[in-house]
């Protein structure tokens, strides 16, 4: 059975004090019978602290928002997957559209990053999604298929069990415009079908596919009720403990 997952991507928000307060609030507000797998992705600089706070509970695990494609060495400013693992990260978010756009991350580079993550026992939340113009010109299915196949299909079926896919239409990220449940479900079913083709029914059925893009308490329930939507990658709404915890309870 695949997991229901809600992951908070804090992006470049919150200072250390604010971040710690948010984790404390989330931990306090999550019900003791919480069945959702909850992930928090803070900035690198206090990932270690967040991971430590989460280590005392089974409620939440920590994630990094990116990792280097390189193992170690003269890469000033980069953070390796091994460093993240040593700081207590359990996941790394890779292929976020902001990283793809602002740092020219290609599918090939992401393939290398996935390799680094796996060599360091980090699970990967792999983001994919199309721009508005790609959707309007009808190339979005091929685009998403290429993003997934070119960065992930080197993995064995066994390795793929450590992949969570996040469908994040770029036009819905941080815009307040959410994909309709039908639009999201259509792409999620398409992604699952691609996985069936590559890895077979069992792996595809066991892969969690998250939706991301202006997901909030008011729309999470309807989105998460869809057959192929197994949770969310949450940006803006993850900065409010009330909103974020409500989203985690929307299944």
Which residues here bind ligand PEP, judged by CB under 6 A? 9, 168, 173-174, 212-215, 233-237
Instruction: Quickly list DSSP for 94-147.
Output: E--HHHHHHTT--HHHHHHHHHHHHHTT-EEEEEE---HHHHHTT-HHHHHHHH
Instruction: Specify the DSSP element, H or E, that contains 211.
Output: strand 209-211
Q: Report how many helices (DSSP H) and strands (DSSP E) the chain contains, helices first.
A: 12, 8
Distance, CA of 65 to CA of 228 (rounded, Å): 24
Q: Judged by CB, which is closer to ligand PEP: 116, or 219?
A: 219
Distance, CA of 37 to CA of 213 (rounded, Å): 19
Check 37, 96, 140, 188 and give the catalytic one: 96
Q: Judged by CB, which is closer to ligand PEP: 46, or 167?
A: 167
Tokens 């329930």 identify what position?
221
- Min. distance of Cβ 235 from ligand PEP in angstroms? 2
The answer to whether 123 and 159 have CB atoms below 8 angstroms apart is no
Distance, CA of 251 to CA of 48 (rounded, Å): 30
**Residue 3 CB partners (closer than 8 Å, separation 6+):** 37, 208, 230, 231
| 188 a catalytic residue | no
Q: Judged by CB, which is closer to ligand PEP: 231, or 235?
A: 235
- Min. distance of Cβ 126 from ligand PEP in angstroms? 12
Distances (CA, A) of 120 to 15, 83, 91: 27, 9, 10
- Min. distance of Cβ 11 from ligand PEP in angstroms? 6
- Min. distance of Cβ 226 from ligand PEP in angstroms? 17
Q: Judged by CB, which is closer to ligand PEP: 19, or 236?
A: 236
Which residue lies nearest ligand PEP, judged by its C-beta? Answer: 235
Query: Count of CB atoms within 10 A of residue 140's CB?
Result: 19
Check 105, 130, 168, 188 and give the catalytic one: 168
Tell which residue, 182, 205, 210, 187, has the closest CA to residue 195.
205
| 96 a catalytic residue | yes
Q: Judged by CB, which is closer to ligand PEP: 116, or 214?
A: 214
Distance, CA of 62 to CA of 143 (rounded, Å): 30
- Min. distance of Cβ 213 from ligand PEP in angstroms? 5
Report, as residue numbers or ranges, the catalytic residues.
96, 168
């Amino acid at each position: 059975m695949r997991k229901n997952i809600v992951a908070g991507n804090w992006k470049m928000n919150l200072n250390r004090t604010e971040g710690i307060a948010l984790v404390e609030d989330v931990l306090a507000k999550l019900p003791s019978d919480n069945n959702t797998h909850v992930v928090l992705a803070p900035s690198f600089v206090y990932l270690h602290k967040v991971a430590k706070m989460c280590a005392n509970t089974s409620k939440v695990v920590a994630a990094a928002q990116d990792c280097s494609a390189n193992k170690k060495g003269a890469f000033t400013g980069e953070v390796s997957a091994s460093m993240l693992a040593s700081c207590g990260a359990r996941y790394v978010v890779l292929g976020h559209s902001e990283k793809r756009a602002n740092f020219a991350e290609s599918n090939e580079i992401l393939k290398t990053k996935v390799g680094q993550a796996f060599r360091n026992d980090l699970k990967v939340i792999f983001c994919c999604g199309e721009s508005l113009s790609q959707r309007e010109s009808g190339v979005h299915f091929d685009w998403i298929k290429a993003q997934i196949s070119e960065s992930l299909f080197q993995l064995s079926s066994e390795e793929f069990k450590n992949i969570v896919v996040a469908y994040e239409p770029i036009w819905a990220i941080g815009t307040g415009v959410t994909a309709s449940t039908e639009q999201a479900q259509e792409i999620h079913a398409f992604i699952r079908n691609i996985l069936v083709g590559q890895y077979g029914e069992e792996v595809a059925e066991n892969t969690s596919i998250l939706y991301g893009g202006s997901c909030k308490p008011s729309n999470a329930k309807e989105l998460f009720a869809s057959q192929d939507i197994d949770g969310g990658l949450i940006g803006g709404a993850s900065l409010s403990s009330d909103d974020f915890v409500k989203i985690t309870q929307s299944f």
